[in-house]
Amino acid sequence: MDGNCSTCDEGINMKTAKKIIVGFALGLAAHGAMATPVTVGGVTWDPAYQLDFSSASVQIQQFIGNDGAVSGFGFISTMNGANQASFCPGCELTFKFGNFTRWKEEGSQTYYKGGTLDIFVNTGVTFINPNDVTSMNAGNTGIGTLWLSLQGREIDGSSMMGSVNFRNPPNIAGLGQLDAVGGLARAWFDTNRQAGGADLAFSTSYTQPFPGQGMRHMGGTGNFFGATFQHVPEPGSLAIFGLGLAGLVASRRKRH
């Protein structure tokens, strides 16, 4: 063996460089696969959650006007498996909805057009009890900073479908779809991944009429479903370093 073999050193260097590049590629792939929790306006959720995005409201009040239009307000109690104290420490998420106008009726089903739903994050005191639907009102919901603004997405002419079961007590169920159009978190929810290109789908169920109001004013629950973007931080200097090594290997191959 030649103790002064320069090509041997170059071969070793080439092998080392190749190993580094392979390791870099694997590390970069792992880096891209790990989505970290996101915080927007004090609200934190994990886009890597298996059912991302899912959120529940244990308390909603709904009103049906004389013209059949639907409106109301609610409190968001869970987000991607985390409770309110975890996903919004020191704050609350409440929402208001309205402008869902009656379009047509078919049997026990009513179809609606339009509609808006705005979610707000608030750090002030509201005295809302998540376990008591009567603790909410028009004055302590929908206040603070606009976190996400949504509009009804019409599919086959309808943005929401409601069905009524005239038992005692009665039950009203709703299904619909929404588009993200504004608010602090819009960029994360504007994904077009739901039916008809909508960003979020929702379902509601109302089983508790307020005294003397019948179905015109009821308490219930609801859920939001969707998918949020998994924004992964750029690897920055790691990528530049990897490209530099790739160029080094390529130049050595040309010379030999």
Q: What is the pLDDT of residues 11-58, one digit of tens each?
A: 545 555 455 444 444 444 444 445 689 999 999 999 999 999 999 999
Task: Report residue 132 as tokens.
Answer: 């008591």
Percent of the chain with pLDDT over 90: 70
Q: What digits encode the pLDDT tens for the residues 85-116?
A: 999 999 999 999 999 999 999 998 999 999 99
Task: Report residue 189 as tokens.
Answer: 């929810």
Domain spans of the chain, in order of start = 8-34+234-255, 39-226
174 has a pLDDT exceeding 90: yes
d(CA 113, CA 161): 9
Q: Which of 197-201, 226-230, 245-249 has the lowest mean pLDDT?
A: 245-249
Per-residue model confidence (pLDDT) at position 240 = 43
Per-residue model confidence (pLDDT) at position 226 = 94
Between residues 95 and 239, which one has the greater pLDDT?
Answer: 95
The confidence band for 229, taking pLDDT boundaries of 50, 70 and 90, is confident
Please give the distance of CA 253 from its chain centroid, rounded to a whole number: 49
The confidence band for 190, taking pLDDT boundaries of 50, 70 and 90, is very high
Read off the pLDDT of each residue in 234-240 and give the average, rounded to a whole number: 45
Strand pairing class (82-83; 78-79): antiparallel
Per-residue model confidence (pLDDT) at position 166 = 83
What DSSP string runs through 52-64? -SEEEEEEEEEEE
Per-residue model confidence (pLDDT) at position 66 = 95
Biggest alpha carbon–alpha carbon distance for the chain: 101
Per-residue model confidence (pLDDT) at position 256 = 53
Between residues 34 and 186, which one has the greater pLDDT?
Answer: 186
249 has a pLDDT exceeding 50: no
The confidence band for 253, taking pLDDT boundaries of 50, 70 and 90, is low
Question: 168: which DSSP letter?
Answer: S
d(CA 124, CA 220): 25
237 has a pLDDT exceeding 50: no
Q: What angle do CA 69, 141, 39 make, to 5 degrees?
A: 115
Q: pTM here?
A: 0.78
d(CA 36, CA 49): 10
Task: Report residue 111 as tokens.
Answer: 């179809």
> How many CA atoms does the CB half-sphere of 184 hold within 13 Å?
16
**Angle of helix 6-33 versus helix 237-255 axis, rounded to 10:** 150
Per-residue model confidence (pLDDT) at position 238 = 42
Would you say 178 and 160 are in contact if contact means Cβ atoms under 8 Å apart? no
Task: Report residue 90 as tokens.
Answer: 């020191």
- Averaged pLDDT of the chain: 84
| CB contact set of 22 (below 8 Å; sequence gap of 6+) | none
Burial 217-248 (b: 16+ CB within 10 A, else e): bbbbbbebebbbebeeeeeeeeeeebeeeeee
Read off the pLDDT of each residue in 188-206 and give the average, rounded to a whole number: 96
Read off the pLDDT of each residue in 2-12 and give the average, rounded to a whole number: 50
245 has a pLDDT exceeding 50: no
Between residues 9 and 214, which one has the greater pLDDT?
Answer: 214
Per-residue model confidence (pLDDT) at position 121 = 98
